[in-house]
Amino acid sequence: MRKMNRAKILDMFRRKGPMAVADLAHEAKLTFPAVSRIVKELVESGILQVKGVGASSGGRKPTLYELNPQAVFAVGVDVSVDEIRVGLMDLEARWVGQERIKVPERGEPQAFVDNIAAGLDRLVQKTGVNGSRILGMGVSVPGPVDSESGTVFHPPNLPGWGEVPLKSRLEEELRLAVKVEKDANVAALGEKWFGAGQDADHILYVFVGEGIGGGLILGGLLYRGAGFGAGEIGHATLDLDGPRCNCGNHGCLEVLASGLALVRRVREEIRRGAESSFFPDPDRILFGDVLLALKEGDPLVKRLAEEASRLLGIGLASVIHAFLPQKVVIGGKLPQAFPDMVEISALKAKERLNPVFRDRVKIEAANLGEDSTITGAAALVLEDLFTFQWR
Ligand SMILES: [Zn+2]
């Protein structure tokens, strides 16, 4: 109970800024002595500090307290296909420092562990942050993760990785509490805590990059389902006889509306004689080229991206009917290059939604951009301070 109240009080400071004990007690519906005791402990541990005095409501002026943003820090790590990012975040979600590391040539897990450790060392030296003030490390990885044990299972984008106990390897190396989570879940958490999802408790986060994935926040907490694959909306079937997906099924949302689907559609159209000054050779089109063509406003790619956006909207409608989130947050490289994707898919989804649902769900663009994963990785650590979960 004490832990739960402590988290509740800290979260009020995080959201509302400086407060006096009486106001905290009133808002948190706790007794004055209980709040007073918790605040005293938090001041002693350095997490809270005295801000000054507030306005008097008759008697003595009350002492105002606030979070000490530099009391403790969280490390966020984003492991992606081409780079590792390591960042140090303070209690007010400001980055005090970040390092970008090119993914090691030999892609074995140990090389990643060594690089993360070296990156954190450099950060600590550069920022002068005392190592004892680091609360823990959250790691985002592109692939299936058992977040209980922190084991990563054969991520398709990281060849050379089998079943890797990443959490225990990092904890041994760093002597720091580590949490490991799949990238889409982490990005969902990042948007919930510090991005487009801050005002919602039920969120569906969807990313559209080369593939399509997602993460679910239900009742303010990450939903992991029975195993660790919840939120994989990219493999919802949209077309029974559609093209074959990497997963072996046909007509998945991912094979119709993702970045790689768009690459395939551009190739098909050019082979059929469509004109595009961007792609002289249909056999050599990469996802990056398509993103560039979108940014430049190439009409063929734009038309096909609009088509993909409508299909995404149809897929979203099914998922919204199942979960009725307050907010759907759409992120990833494709909507970043083609922002219309959000509006087109939102219109299409709403067209298909039960009218009772339609006005209750907001569909919006993510707002942390490529930072949603590293931010969410740090939030995995901060979450323990500001929320209480029965585990
Ligand atoms: Zn599939």
Which H or E element spans position 188? Answer: helix 183-194
| Interval between CA 211 and ligand 1 midpoint (Å) | 10
CA 311 to centroid of ligand 1, rounded, Å: 15
CA-wise closest residue to 212 among 170, 183, 175: 183
Contact 389, 189 (CB under 8 A): no
Q: In this predicted model, what pLDDT tens digit does every residue of 141-166 receive, in sequence order?
A: 998 899 999 999 988 778 788 999 99
Residue 237 Cα to ligand 1 midpoint, Å, equals 8
Amino acid 337: pLDDT: 96
CA 255 / ligand 1 centre spacing (Å)? 7
For ligand 1, the distance from its centroid to the CA atom of residue 142, given in whole angstroms, is 16
Ligand 1 center from residue 246 Cα (angstroms):
6
Inform me whether the pLDDT recorded for 228 exceeds 80.
no
**Mean pLDDT on 278-298:** 91
CA of 210 to the centre of ligand 1 (A): 13
Question: In the predicted model, what is the mean pLDDT of the chain?
Answer: 93
**What are 308-340's pLDDT values in tens digits?**
999 999 999 999 999 999 999 999 999 999 999
- Bridge partners of 218? 221
pLDDT value at position 275? Answer: 85
- Distance from the CA of 385 to the center of ligand 1, in angstroms? 37
Output the CA 231–ligand 1 centroid distance in Å: 13
Ligand 1 geometric centre to CA of 377 (Å): 26
For residues 307 and 310, give the distance between their C-alpha atoms in angstroms, rounded to a whole number.
Answer: 5
The H or E element spanning position 219 is none
Task: List the structure tokens of 249.
Answer: 């099924």
3-state SS, residue 163: strand
Average of pLDDT values for 20-47?
A: 94
Tokens (6 digits) for 170: 């990092």
Q: What is the pLDDT of residues 91-126, one digit of tens each?
A: 989 999 999 999 877 678 999 999 999 999 999 999
Taking the model in full, what pTM does it have?
Answer: 0.92
> Can you give the pLDDT at residue 57?
74
| Average pLDDT, integer, range 265-286 | 89
CA-based Rg of the chain, rounded to a whole angstrom?
A: 23
CA of 6 from ligand 1 middle (Å) equals: 44
User: If you measure from the C-alpha of residue 364 to the centroid of ligand 1, how many angstroms do you get, rounded to a whole number?
Assistant: 25
C-alpha 242 – ligand 1 centre gap (Å): 11
Find the 35 Cα to ligand 1 centroid distance in Å.
51
Q: Report the percentage of the chain scoring pLDDT > 90.
A: 79
C-alpha to C-alpha distances, 294 to 47, 310, 334, nearest whole angstrom: 47, 16, 9
Q: How far is the CA of 233 from the centre of ligand 1 (A)?
A: 9
Amino acid identity, position 284 = R
C-alpha of residue 47 to centroid of ligand 1, in Å: 46
* Three-point CA angle 379, 191, 254, nearest 5°: 115
N-to-C CA span, the chain:
14
**pLDDT value at 368 more than 90:** yes
Least confident of 39-43, 54-58, 195-199, 361-365: 54-58
Structure tokens at 209: 């990059």
pLDDT band at 391 (very low <50, low <70, confident <90, very high): low
Q: Would you tell me how many other CB atoms lie within 10 Å of the CB of residue 385? A: 20
The DSSP secondary structure of 281-313, one letter per residue, reads -GGG--HHHHHHHHHHT-HHHHHHHHHHHHHHH
Q: What is residue 186's predicted lDDT score, i.e. its pLDDT? A: 96
According to the model, what pLDDT value does residue 390 have? 65
pLDDT for position 282: 85
